[in-house]
Amino acid sequence: METKAVSLLGRLISIPTVNPPGEKYQEFVEFAEKYFKSLGLDTEVVEVPKSEVAKHCAECAEYPRLILLARLGEPKIHFNGHYDVVPPGPLESWKVTRPFEPVYREGRLYGRGAVDMKGGLTSIMLAVEKAVAAGLKNFEVSFVPDEETGGETGAGYLARSGKVKAPWVVIAEGSGEDNIWIGHRGLVWFLVEVYGKQAHGSTPWLGLNAFEGAAYIAQRLQEYVKTVSTRVSRYEFDDPRGASPTVTMGGEVRGSVKTNVVPGYFAFSVDRRVIPEEDVEQVRREFVEFVEKVAKEVPHKVEVKVTNVSEAALVEPSHPLVEALAAAAEAVTGKKPRRTVCIGGLDARFFIKAGIPTVTYGPGPIGLAHAPDEYVEVRQVVNVAEIYFNLIRKLTSSPP
């Protein structure tokens, strides 16, 4: 199966589905649909309305957003993955190969999207092919766009559409073959805006420095950081440091125009990560109240805007889907996979919000995602395909 995996994955990587803006989506979907049709699956291609795309990415609206569905029988398990990839970045940083010219070397296949997540899509395709050859049915697959730009016009649109017929979902994102992501953290992004009075740099007494006000608030926010960082999730995380909420300030800053100008406006972002036990509305309220309290200590006008919200989501580690997947994985690898919460965000939240228990499990190493010389271990692609096949066989022979 390894030779077939290298060939198929190489073909998927060679289609540069770069997002944004969303290039070559149609070419990719046509290839994948032809593959599934050749195996006897019923297929459907859903186009996300341009108006919906424009809400989330104005520059993407003229590029079609296509969701591929493939189904055989009455589905008892659904496999999902996204086919978009991030831009390759500077070509000179790629040393092993060019981004969309896949190279196989020492058990690894290199190319943009190899691990994030066309390796996982390959595992799904190989598992489906083996399942059909074995006479199995009652499963379905979806390939979606736009995970790399938030997922609302990919997995989010699909989950809200009601087109997923199976009771459970497995997302093939690269958790690594020894690790099942039972869920992920959430986030609330803030923009703290501070207004002063612009003046000439030679007469600062005529102005009110917005940067100084912002710096004061940022310094006082260290108290908030210390408070929330004492909270610890009861679930296991792939990195234990992610079990507590984190706060990142200054990822984005705005303000002023020139060295010899007293800035009349300055703003900085705050990325507040949310553990599963926390409620995003409570997190929003807690943060805003803290900033409003500190703002009374400065002469500036201060406003807080929420720029992004994503809820944490998970299924319990003892859920029957987790148990079935863990057993299927152990049968192939000989090891019990960990059951952890992902520190970042995943498309799982959309399906879980729609009432469909979802876990994430696919070939790694995920640490290479978005990096130059991205690669996936082909052995893991093959092992995960075997694990998916085992899961199909188990779940389609007895109801979940």
**Domain end position, chosen among 286, 310, 334:** 310
Instruction: Based on the fold, state whether residues 63 and 173 are members of the same structural domain.
Output: yes
Sheet containing 103-105, strands listed edge to edge, beginning at the edge strand earlier in sequence: 103-105, 108-110, 375-377
Provide mean pLDDT across the span 185-214.
Answer: 98
Predicted local distance difference test score (pLDDT) of residue 398: 56
Same domain, 295 and 319: no
Mean pLDDT for 110-139 is 98
Residue 39 shares a structural domain with residue 75: yes
Predicted local distance difference test score (pLDDT) of residue 357 = 98
**pLDDT for 257:** 86
> Same structural domain for residues 177 and 256?
no
**337-370 core/surface letters (b: 16 or more CB in 10 A; e: else):** bbbbbbbebbbbbbbbebebbbbbbbbbbbebbb
Per-residue tokens: 256: 């002023």
Share the mean pLDDT of the chain: 96
Say if residue 264 is in the same domain as residue 282: yes
198-215 mean pLDDT: 98
Mean pLDDT value of segment 25-38 = 98
The gap from C-alpha 361 to its chain's centroid, in whole angstroms, comes to: 13
* Sign, CA torsion 31/32/33/36: positive
Report d(CA 330, CA 171) in Å as an integer.
18
The residue among 274, 295, 310 that closes a domain is 310
Burial 101-118 (b: 16+ CB within 10 A, else e): ebbbeeebbbbbbbbbbb
Same-domain status, 342 and 303: no
User: What pTM was computed for the model?
Assistant: 0.93
Residues 26 and 35 sit within 8 Å (Cβ to Cβ) = no
Confidence of residue 388 (pLDDT cuts 50, 70, 90): very high
Q: Domain check: are 214 and 344 in the same one?
A: no
> Once rounded to an integer, what is the mean pLDDT over residues 124-153?
97
- List Cβ neighbours of 271 (8 Å cut-off, separation of 6 or more): 187, 189, 246, 247, 248, 249, 251
User: pLDDT tens-digit profile of 256-266?
Assistant: 889 999 999 99
**What is the domain range of residue 193?**
186-310
Whichever domain contains 298, its CATH number is 3.30.70.360
The pLDDT value given to residue 366 = 84
Domain count across the chain? 2
Lowest-pLDDT range of 209-213, 281-285, 368-372, 391-395: 368-372
Would you state the pLDDT for residue 150? 92
